[in-house]
Structure 1
Amino acid sequence: MSSAFPIFSLPYIPLKQVLDNFGPHAIINISLCSLRSKAVAISYRGSSKDVQLELGNYCLQRYEKMTFCWLLNAEETSKMRKDRILDTVRIGSFRNVPVEMEMGGKVLTTYWDDRMVGLLEIGSYAREIFNQDIHEINLGEEQDLGQAVDWITNVQGSIKSLHCEFEPTNDSVLDYVLTNCKYTESLSLHVKPSDGYCPAEMPNFDIDYLYILPSFWIKQNHLLTMNCKYIVLQDSKLGNRDINILVQHWMNGGCVKLKELLITVEVLIDYEEILEAVEHTVRTEDTLRDYVNHENVLLSIGSSFDIKRSTDGTTATIEDDGVDSKWFYMAVWPDFVGNSCH
């Protein structure tokens, strides 16, 4: 990919205004054209770089306005078309990476002998061009986990958001990820370990967002180490007594960051047992209150129980979902946009 760009002759301010209108796709594509264009892309600071970068599923994506859009794709060289010769670019230490535009010019596909090596090279290249770390990594193939975790550790030290969705052949695979990958804001585990799984070390549950499906391996001791804004535990084996202990833990100042908690369980929810020794106020169906969650979704809470934290007077609401419910939902006020419980 080649050639001169007359826009590079523009003074800095007009050039920045042009690049502001290009968008992230054009910034990364231009950077691949020459060493000069790469230098311009790196030095540029503006709105076309205001994105969150995600690495996973063999592609580099940007996250913007609740939508993921592909920037670069990594494919095996065996998938290359044989009917024509492709252009090549330099990415990192790889000088002749074949590329072609796909999806109507919306994504640039790169071809590699080793697809995972290519993905991680793309990640390193994107960090350089966008002057920022990769925000999220998605681990979806067990055989790639070691390389991905080592890349996170060696290249940027940590990752803000970690999403895992793979089928482990043994529990040591999940242990390796939880022990060696430093995630700092969000953990999403869609991984089913063995029935008797217990983490080799206590995972980091002091983050903002935690999603675990299935969560049958989460025990009371794990529950009491959690300090997150948003917790979802699906297919849990926790009982009403465990939830009661968690509620009392919160009332006494534990899990201080909590804003929303959702647990789906095997047994029927017994609110009498959950609220045992817990001072609470009953709210009836006609006292409907609106709660806006972290995704800016409006939830209407009717029949419920209000509880108050003794340490600072913060109020939380436990939704009464009826006698046949197998899910426990608790929301802490104010909500994510500042609404109070009154």
Structure 2
Amino acid sequence: MRILVAGPVPEASDYGNGVTARRWAHLLRDLGHDVRVVQDYDGGRYDLLIALHARKSEAAIRAFAAERPDAPIVIALTGTDLYPDLVTGGVDLKLLERAARIVVLQPRGVRQVPLALRSRTRVITQSMPPISGATPSEDRFEVAFLAHARPVKDPLRLSEAVRKLPSSSRIAVTHVGGVREDDIGDRLRAESTENPRYSWLGPLPRPEALAVLARSRLLVLTSLHEGGANVVTEALAAGVPIVSTHIPGSVGLLGEDYAGYFPVGDTDALADVLDAAEHDRDGLYTRLRWQCAARRASVDPERETESWERLLAEVVPANAGYEGVR
């Protein structure tokens, strides 16, 4: 089958949507399909469109639907589609009704989909092969922050929190991620210079970013919203405990009973959780390690592949004719 994957960033991008599009293309090719990844639909006879990000891929969805009206469309909803809600996220609900299937990246995402469309909504958790851990530094408690500096990531929250830690703390933040606005970049550079607990490395090639994660004792996610963050999946694959804002995108992946949450935008609460994790106060760090280890199987690539295989069988049955080869 010929499958077109449309997303808002180039396939080579290390932003979350680019990472997801590459992984999906790879697993679909492993299933025997001919896959092309694009930002804009420019014609061509495809049997299926998978659109990553309903709002930002709207033009591609409309163009594909106009040229290939009988071909199924799968729309995958991202964090900025889903939260705080679809209408606020700019998603055209009429366009969403055109989808043969809707994909969300964690179970809580289904709650954001209109009731009439939930029967055709599927949860496909993102995956990552196991990441070999590295020996953490003995002279510090390294915390990884892997986030491009967009407002939705609340990128200065962690640097502000570590300023509140006691002078005896050995916590050191390593921030990997690019910037899109000069003023944010200036603030990150200043923070990296003035805050001894914070180091911003800028964007790094993906293998180097994952190496930072693998050697860290903790990953922190400060986002206001997430659809199902790749970095949470990566931390689970690396066996690195996670501290996250209490948002549906993280609760859907980690569970309501997960011990590592803090309220969105609450600098003091984040500082308290970091201090407790560093010293394993009340066994917090031990519990986070155990909880993340218990969830590691949820990011097994075979599970994601099987989910896509089932979805494809639903939208393009085995006895249906299609133009590509498998």
TM-score by length of 2: 0.28
**Which structure has greater helix proportion?**
2
**Which structure has greater strand proportion?**
1
Higher relative contact order (CA 8 A, sep 6+): 2
Highest Rg: 1 or 2? 1
